[in-house]
Amino acid sequence: MNFTEWESYYTEILNKFGFPKEKDEKTALWLSNEFKKVCSLENRNDKIFSILEEKISRRPVVVCGNAPSLEKEYIAFLKEKSRGNEIYIAADGAATVLLQNNRIPDIIVTDLDGKHPNDAIKEIEAVDKGALLLVHAHGDNLDKLEKYLPAFSDKINQNTIIPTCQCRPPDYLLNFGGFTDGDRCVFLADAFNAASVVLIGFDFKDPSVLPLKKKKLECAEKLIQLIREKEQNPEKIRFYSEL
Ligand X SMILES: Nc1ncnc2c1ncn2[C@@H]1O[C@H](COP(=O)(O)OP(=O)(O)OP(=O)(O)O)[C@@H](O)[C@H]1O
Query: Residues interacting with ligand PH2, by CB under 6 A?
Result: 19, 23-24, 111, 138-140, 166, 179-180, 216
Q: Sort strands 87-91 and 107-110 into parallel, antiparallel or unpaired.
A: parallel
- Residue 115 interaction partner, one of ligand PH2, ligand X, none, beta carbon < 5-8 Å per kind: ligand X
- Residue 206 interaction partner, one of ligand PH2, ligand X, none, beta carbon < 5-8 Å per kind: ligand X
CA 98 to chain centre: 15
Q: Smallest distance from the beta carbon of 18 to ligand PH2, in angstroms?
A: 9
Q: Smallest distance from the beta carbon of 50 to ligand X, in angstroms?
A: 27
- Residue 139 interaction partner, one of ligand X, ligand PH2, none, beta carbon < 5-8 Å per kind: ligand PH2
Alpha-carbon gap, residue 232 to 243, rounded angstroms: 18
Q: Sort strands 60-64 and 237-239 into parallel, antiparallel or unpaired.
A: unpaired
Q: Which residues share a beta bridge with 133?
A: 108, 161
- Residue 61 interaction partner, one of ligand PH2, ligand X, none, beta carbon < 5-8 Å per kind: none
Q: Smallest distance from the beta carbon of 189 to ligand X, in angstroms?
A: 13
Q: Does 139 bind ligand X (CB under 6 A)?
A: no
Q: Smallest distance from the beta carbon of 188 to ligand X, in angstroms?
A: 13
Q: Does 240 bind ligand X (CB under 6 A)?
A: no
Identified binder of ligand X from the candidate list 17, 51, 82, 113, rule CB under 6 A:
113
Q: Considering only residues 219 through 238, tell me which ones interact with ligand X, judged by CB under 6 A.
A: 220
Question: Edge to edge, what strands does the sheet with 132-137 contain?
Answer: 161-165, 132-137, 107-110, 87-91, 60-64, 196-200, 237-239
Alpha-carbon gap, residue 179 to 182, rounded angstroms: 8
Binding segment for ligand X (CB under 6 A), chosen from 16-24, 108-116, 164-172, 227-235, is 108-116
Q: Does 170 bind ligand X (CB under 6 A)?
A: no
Q: Does 35 bind ligand X (CB under 6 A)?
A: no
| Chain contacts with ligand X (rule: CB under 6 A) | 65-67, 91-94, 111, 113-115, 180-183, 202-203, 206, 209, 216-217, 220
